[in-house]
Amino acid sequence: MKRLSVKELLQATRCGETVEVSGWVRTRRGSKQVNFIALNDGSTIHNIQVVAETGSFPEELLKRITTGAALHVKGELVESAGSGQATEIQARELTVLGDADPEKYPIQPKKHSLEFLRDNAHLRFRTNIFGAVFRVRHAMAFAIHDYFNAHGFYYLHSPLITASDAEGAGEMFRVTTLDALHPPLTSDGKVDYRQDFFGKATNLTVSGQLEGELAAMAMGKVYTFGPTFRAENSNTTRHLAEFWMVEPEVAFYDIHDNMDLAEDFLKYLIRYALDHCMDDLLYLERRLQEEEKDRKAGERSMNLIEKLQFVLENSFERLSYTEAFDLLARCKANKSGKFQYPVDRWGVDLQSEHERYLVEKHFKKPVILTDYPAEIKAFYMKQNPDGKTVAAMDVLFPQTGEIIGGSQREEDLDKLLRRMNETGLPVDSMSWYLDTRRFGSAVHSGFGLGFERLLLFVTGMSNIRDVIPFPRTPKNAEF
């Protein structure tokens, strides 16, 4: 007999059949007559109810059916008499596959804090909330490939080990096989990376963009989707040291095409979540409502699903950094000193508090900010004719702040070289990158979507550590 998943069993098309299912016990409630076992196998947020007559099974066996135990059930699928589920299983055979000692098993049927579950990340998959989050994560990854494939993009695998710093921010993890205690030294006392594995100093990549550009300048439309690594020491709810980034890169696209792509892409992903993950989203929404119950009506945020629909229905507000700067400089929050970082000089980098003000307070919808000061953006961005700004575009979302960062790229060799020299980038070792500008150069653009930032928005979770299975953050690489 074929074992069925809980998801299949709940579809109620097999009532009357003998079925088999395996899963983990969520709860067991027992009386003298009957036991109700809630069984979950991860295929859906919902449990199947297993009904076992107390007298038909040895007491010793029933006692072992505790929260967390792995259980195999054979029985008859019947229409449920109780409310809340369409079908249930009338058990004929119960086999405990693996016990979970209630004295020792950390995940009990009560509300655990997210902090506690983070410390038990190896077991948190077994909770409703993390089951929901990671099913949504899967669906979003799948939808990303789906979108690009349908739009004529090719999936490019960019390298994880690289000798270049794509963002020029110097926040990289070194990759080396040299002896940390006794590295070979050059005559002037520096570590001699010529003797290292790759014959030069290498790092984990911060972005696949530079390689993406090489491919786009031949294949037209490409995207990367892989892990990226940043050794920035920011212990925030929005930063990871290892996160996944999606980076489309398109030849002959200018910044406006790029913005259209970003907006269409994000809306597709949100629509996909609503179409394919409603059970999990409803669960996550209820959880958020529960959390907000004690807040005053005015302080409550939009319901999760309402918020997702709202983003779908409204076009993103597009404005330049300079327009945003004027708006922020004049706003009440700035004048009354409510911002931790005052907006007092054109050229300041915008902080998450400013981004959130624009999105949540002022426009009340996603915002695309363009044309940032060159000084605060990466070397490769297209230099605008004003000589001060570059054709950058950041997409800002409620709660999350920056979800996408991108730009039109500088395709003019001389201008790019000048900028690289100004910012002290090693022009010689990046000659391969410059060849795209030497031979057949053309307008092109791209962006990077932080996959976990997208998930924060879609799931309504508030800490980025809770949307990646095993978070890597400063001083934390457990599991």
- Nearer to ligand 4AD by C-beta: 38 or 454? 454
What is the C-alpha to C-alpha distance for residues 181 and 197, in angstroms, rounded to an integer?
Answer: 16
Residues 388-407 that bind ligand 4AD (CB under 6 A): 402-406
Partner whose footprint covers residue 460, from Mg ion, ligand 4AD, none (CB < 5 to 8 Å by kind): none
What is the C-alpha to C-alpha distance for residues 413 and 327, in angstroms, rounded to an integer?
Answer: 35
- Min dist CB 405 to Mg ion, Å, is 3
- Nearer to ligand 4AD by C-beta: 247 or 280? 247
- Nearer to ligand 4AD by C-beta: 28 or 453? 453
- Nearer to ligand 4AD by C-beta: 236 or 315? 236
Q: Binding to ligand 4AD by residue 436, rule CB under 6 A?
A: no
Partner whose footprint covers residue 401, from ligand 4AD, Mg ion, none (CB < 5 to 8 Å by kind): none
- Nearer to Mg ion by C-beta: 208 or 405? 405
Q: Binding to Mg ion by residue 446, rule CB under 5 A?
A: no
- Nearer to ligand 4AD by C-beta: 49 or 158? 158
Binding residue (CB under 6 A) for ligand 4AD from 43, 47, 202, 207 = 207
Q: Binding to ligand 4AD by residue 372, rule CB under 6 A?
A: no
Q: Binding to ligand 4AD by residue 166, rule CB under 6 A?
A: yes
The piece of 19-27, 114-122, 236-244, 347-355 that touches ligand 4AD (CB under 6 A) is: 236-244
Residues that bind Mg ion (rule: CB under 5 A) add up to a total of 1
Tokens of 45: 């947020």
What is the C-alpha to C-alpha distance for residues 338 and 456, in angstroms, rounded to an integer?
Answer: 26
Binding residue (CB under 6 A) for ligand 4AD from 209, 370, 384, 408 = 209
- Nearer to ligand 4AD by C-beta: 66 or 407? 407
The piece of 38-46, 76-84, 426-434, 450-458 that touches ligand 4AD (CB under 6 A) is: 450-458
Supply angle C-alpha 20, 23, 29, rounded to 5.
100
- Min dist CB 208 to ligand 4AD, Å, is 7
- How many CA atoms within 13 Å lie on the side-chain side of 383? 16
- Min dist CB 206 to Mg ion, Å, is 11
- Min dist CB 2 to Mg ion, Å, is 49
SS (H, E, C) the chain: CCECCHHHHCCCCCCCCEEEEEEEEEEEEECCCEEEEEEECCCCCCCEEEEEEHHHCCHHHHHCCCCCCEEEEEEEEEECCCCCCCEEEEEEEEEEEECCCCCCCCCCCCCCCHHHHHHCCCCHHHCHHHHHHHHHHHHHHHHHHHHHHHCCCEECCCCCEECCCCCCCCCCCEECCCCCCCCCECCCCCECHHHCCCCCCEEECCCCHHHHHHHHHHHCEEEEEEEEECCCCCCCCCCCCEEEEEEEEEECCCHHHHHHHHHHHHHHHHHHHHHHCHHHHHHHHHHHHHHHCCCCHHHCCCCHHHHHHHHHHCCCEEEEHHHHHHHHHHCHHHHCCCCCCCCCCCCCCCCHHHHHHHHHHHHCCCEEEEEEEHHHCCCCECECCCCCEEEEEEEEECCCEEEEEEEEECCCHHHHHHHHHHCCCCCHHHHHHHHHHHCCCCCEEEEEEEHHHHHHHHHCCCCHHHCCCCCCECCECCC
Q: Binding to Mg ion by residue 405, rule CB under 5 A?
A: yes
> Nearest residue to Mg ion, using CB?
405
- Nearer to Mg ion by C-beta: 134 or 379? 379
Partner whose footprint covers residue 446, from ligand 4AD, Mg ion, none (CB < 5 to 8 Å by kind): ligand 4AD
Q: Binding to ligand 4AD by residue 239, rule CB under 6 A?
A: yes
- Nearer to ligand 4AD by C-beta: 131 or 405? 405
Through-space distance between the first and last CA atoms of the chain, rounded to whole angstroms: 37
Binding residue (CB under 6 A) for ligand 4AD from 46, 126, 230, 287 = 230
Binding residue (CB under 6 A) for ligand 4AD from 9, 71, 245, 266 = 245
Question: Which stretches of 178-233 are assigned E, i.e. beta strand?
Answer: 202-204, 221-229
What is the C-alpha to C-alpha distance for residues 236 and 465, in angstroms, rounded to an integer?
Answer: 10
The piece of 5-13, 121-129, 401-409, 430-438 that touches Mg ion (CB under 5 A) is: 401-409
Single-letter amino acid, residue 24? W
Partner whose footprint covers residue 243, from ligand 4AD, Mg ion, none (CB < 5 to 8 Å by kind): ligand 4AD
- Min dist CB 16 to ligand 4AD, Å, is 50
The piece of 250-258, 280-288, 424-432, 442-450 that touches ligand 4AD (CB under 6 A) is: 442-450
Which positions lie near ligand 4AD, rule CB under 6 A? Answer: 166-167, 207, 209, 230, 232, 239-240, 243, 245, 247, 402-406, 446-448, 450, 452-453
Which positions lie near Mg ion, rule CB under 5 A? Answer: 405
